[in-house]
Structure 1
Amino acid sequence: MRLLSISLGKAGPLFGLNHPDYSSVASAIHKKPVSTPSQASPVEIKPLGVVGDEQADLSVHGGLEKAIYVYPMEHYAFWNELLTRETKQVVNLQHGSMGENFTIEGLLEHEVFVGDKMSIGDLEFTVVKLREPCFKFNAKMKYKGAAKAMLQSGKSGWYLRVTQPGTLIAGASITITPGQRITSIASQNKALFNRGNQQDLWD
């Protein structure tokens, strides 16, 4: 298990300044890697997340409990195939495209539980909850079914609290220290998707 890249982004208009209906909708979902194994630049991580990263809506992103968003690179093949099929254009997403800060490998949602400790390099984090996608994710992916597909597939990623800040570089190894192991990210994901179906949120 290791950290493949560290990404950050700045808040800005999600749909562009000239969109007639949504010009005021802001997002920082457009994130780019600033540290990769081939360019392993050190990145400072503080209690509120990656230094230099921004969130447009602090009611649903960021803060101490959602300081870092983690996404497994194993899911990228799924998205490339889905989006290529649905948008009729060849899609080859780069790390950070899900809006994640940490792109990792070797660890998936069914293996991660709320309260688990993640050690990455010399830093420590606590698993908090899954990522709940919204219409902004649909806009980023240019596919109106993207949020539903994220939950239906179980490929949600998860948020971390920073418990030991410091400096990280891409390529750092990851270890997990189990917590109580009551609620996995996968089970949270399934419950949220079922609730969305019951409330007709996807129609």
Structure 2
Amino acid sequence: MAEVRLEGRVLGLRVGKKRDGVFRAKGVEGEPSAIGKTPVQEALLESEGLRGDEQADRANHGGIHKAILLFSIDSYQKLALQTGLTFDVENQALLGENLLVEGLNESSVCAGDRFLVGEAEIEISQPRQPCWKLSANNDRSDLSLQIYRLGLTGWYARVISGGVIRQNETLKLLSRPHERLTIAALNRLIQDVSKDAPLLSEALACEALSPNFKNALRYCLEHHINTPPAYIHLPS
């Protein structure tokens, strides 16, 4: 396998506490969330995330396989073009990301990639599976579905070794064991798990791919669906 040289940069580092009354969407005004993360200059990355960061729904967010969420400035720009929305990402994480990055995106990052960022080493674990809160936080009812269909989801990472991360740090690729399992390819796969049987087999056998995402692939395959409803729709 040829050596891959890949670097990105941390444009923004964000943490957030769980709060009530975050959303303005009808019917979910009282739903707690920590999606509104705000900038910090540095933060200590520990085994389950950045110190000072919280998640309201620990059943679906956080934990060792979803310790931090990364999102690309490229993807924000593509979403803006596709949806007509304006994303002011200078002072807040509109899509809940901990690291806003440049130089990396869903097409260039793979499950199992290991990056050095600041003092920490992380391993890419899965694509983010967009839930209704992305729509609610941006007052656009179809935004989560658009993110899902466009595959502009961002991605999660687990912590191999912790340490301090600072804004403007470089993310340097250390190793790439699964070059076919890009975040973009995994996002296409979950939309139609029957389309690429070899890739599905590789994904299900990939130890670095999180149990959560592999279970979602199995669920879609077993139930013959291509839009997992739990990730998309506002709660009834």
TM-score of the pair, normalised by structure 1: 0.84
The residue identity in structure 2 corresponding to 1:64 is: I
Shift of 1:82: 4.5
Q: Would you say 1:32 and 2:27 are equivalent positions?
A: no
Shift of 1:12: 1.6
Q: Deviations over 1:25-73 (max 9, x none)?
A: 21111111112xxxxxx31111111111100011110011100000011
Shift of 1:160: 0.4
Shift of 1:148: 1.2
Shift of 1:156: 0.8
Contact 1:3 1:103 in 2 (8 A): yes
Q: Secondary structure at the match of 1:109?
A: coil
Q: Would you say 1:22 and 2:41 are equivalent positions?
A: no
Q: Deviations over 1:166-196 (max 9, x none)?
A: 1111111111121233422111111233459
Shift of 1:122: 2.5
Shift of 1:78: 2.6
Q: Would you say 1:188 and 2:186 are equivalent positions?
A: yes
Change over 3 Å in CA distance of 1:171–1:68 after alignment to 2: same
Q: Would you say 1:3 and 2:10 are equivalent positions?
A: yes
Change over 3 Å in CA distance of 1:76–1:200 after alignment to 2: closer
Moved more, 174-183 or 2-11: 174-183
Q: Which structure is higher in RCO with an 8 Å CA cutoff and minimum separation 6?
A: 1
Contact 1:10 1:53 in 2 (8 A): yes
Q: Deviations over 1:126-146 (max 9, x none)?
A: 000000111111101111111
Q: Would you say 1:163 and 2:160 are equivalent positions?
A: yes
Q: Would you say 1:145 and 2:153 are equivalent positions?
A: no
CA distance in 2, matches of 1:149, 1:23: 22
Contact 2:112 2:123 in 1 (8 A): yes
State the partner residue of 1:97: 94
Which runs of 5 or more residues in structure 2 are unaligned? 1-7, 193-219
Change over 3 Å in CA distance of 1:132–1:200 after alignment to 2: closer
Shift of 1:197: 6.5
Which runs of 5 or more residues in structure 1 are unaligned? 36-41
State the partner residue of 1:76: 76
Moved more, 157-166 or 146-155: 146-155
Contact 2:18 2:55 in 1 (8 A): yes
CA distance in 1, matches of 2:95, 2:15: 11
| Aligned-pair Cα RMSD in Å | 2.3
CA distance in 2, matches of 1:162, 1:199: 29
State the partner residue of 1:178: 176
Q: Would you say 1:50 and 2:50 are equivalent positions?
A: yes
CA distance in 2, matches of 1:161, 1:200: 23
